[in-house]
Amino acid sequence: MPDREASRAAPSALRGLLSLVVVLGSACSAGAGSVFSAELSALAGRSADGAWTLNGAGTQTNAVGFEYLVRLSGERGDYLTADLQARASYDPARPEREPWAIEIHNAWIEHRFGLGRNARLGHFEPAFGLERALDTHGTLLQTLAERNVGFKHDWGLGYRGTTGAFDLEASAQTGSGMGLERRDGSVLLSSRLSTPPGTAVGVGVSALYGRTLTSMGMRTLPRPIFDPDAVERRRIGVDALWNTGAVALAAEAAAGSNDGRSVLGALLRASWQVPALDALTLEAQAEHWSREDGTRTSLGACVSLRPGDGWTLSAAVLGDASGDAGDTRVVLHAYYYGRFP
Partner 1 sequence: MRRTAVATAVVLAALALARPASCAVGCTLNDPDRDIRRLFPGATGYRTEFVSIAERGGRPLAARIETRLGEPLDPVYEALDVSYAYYTVLKGNAVVGFVHGVNQKGRYGGMQLILATDLRGAVVGFYYQKLTSPEAKRFRSEAFTGQFKGLTVADFDLYRSASAEERARSPVSRIKDPSERSADDFRATLRGVMKNLILLEVFGTTKQDD
Residues that bind partner 1 (CB under 8 A): 33-35, 37-38, 40, 42, 54, 62, 64, 67, 71, 73, 75-78, 90, 92, 99-100, 112, 114-116, 118, 161-162, 167, 196-198, 244-246, 273, 275-276, 278, 308-311, 334, 336-341
- Looking at the Cβ atoms of 50 and 339, the one nearer to partner 1 is 339
Q: What is the Cα–Cα distance from 8 to 267, expressed in whole angstroms?
A: 39
Q: Which amino acid, residue 267?
A: L
Tell me the closest approach of the beta carbon of residue 202 to partner 1, in angstroms: 10
Tell me the closest approach of the beta carbon of residue 13 to partner 1, in angstroms: 23
Closest CA to 228 of 286, 294, 182, 188: 182
Strand partners, 103: 87
What element of type H or E holds 269?
Answer: strand 261-273
Tell me the closest approach of the beta carbon of residue 340 to partner 1, in angstroms: 7
Closest CA to 144 of 55, 19, 265, 301: 265
Closest CA to 47 of 338, 327, 263: 327
- Long-range Cβ pairs for the range 282-289 (8 Å, 24+): 283/141, 285/141, 286/321, 287/144, 289/144, 289/147, 289/263, 289/264, 289/265
Phi, psi of 25 (to 5 degrees): -65, -45
- Looking at the Cβ atoms of 264 and 280, the one nearer to partner 1 is 280
Tell me the closest approach of the beta carbon of residue 79 to partner 1, in angstroms: 8
DSSP-derived secondary structure for 65-122: EEEEEEEEEETTEEEEEEEEEEEEEE-TTSSTT--EEEEEEEEEEEEEEETTEEEEEE
DSSP state, 219? -
Tell me the closest approach of the beta carbon of residue 152 to partner 1, in angstroms: 20
Closest CA to 252 of 322, 324, 203: 203
- Looking at the Cβ atoms of 154 and 167, the one nearer to partner 1 is 167
- Looking at the Cβ atoms of 112 and 235, the one nearer to partner 1 is 112
Q: Sort strands 52-53 and 62-74 into parallel, antiparallel or unpaired.
A: unpaired
Tell me the closest approach of the beta carbon of residue 162 to partner 1, in angstroms: 5
- Looking at the Cβ atoms of 7 and 163, the one nearer to partner 1 is 163
- Looking at the Cβ atoms of 100 and 201, the one nearer to partner 1 is 100
- Looking at the Cβ atoms of 26 and 37, the one nearer to partner 1 is 37
Q: Which amino acid, residue 320?
A: D
Tell me the closest approach of the beta carbon of residue 77 to partner 1, in angstroms: 3
Tell me the closest approach of the beta carbon of residue 275 to partner 1, in angstroms: 5
- Looking at the Cβ atoms of 1 and 276, the one nearer to partner 1 is 276
Tell me the closest approach of the beta carbon of residue 27 to partner 1, in angstroms: 13
- Looking at the Cβ atoms of 58 and 99, the one nearer to partner 1 is 99
Q: What is the Cα–Cα distance from 244 to 259, expressed in whole angstroms?
A: 40
The sign of the CA dihedral 49, 92, 327, 137 is: positive
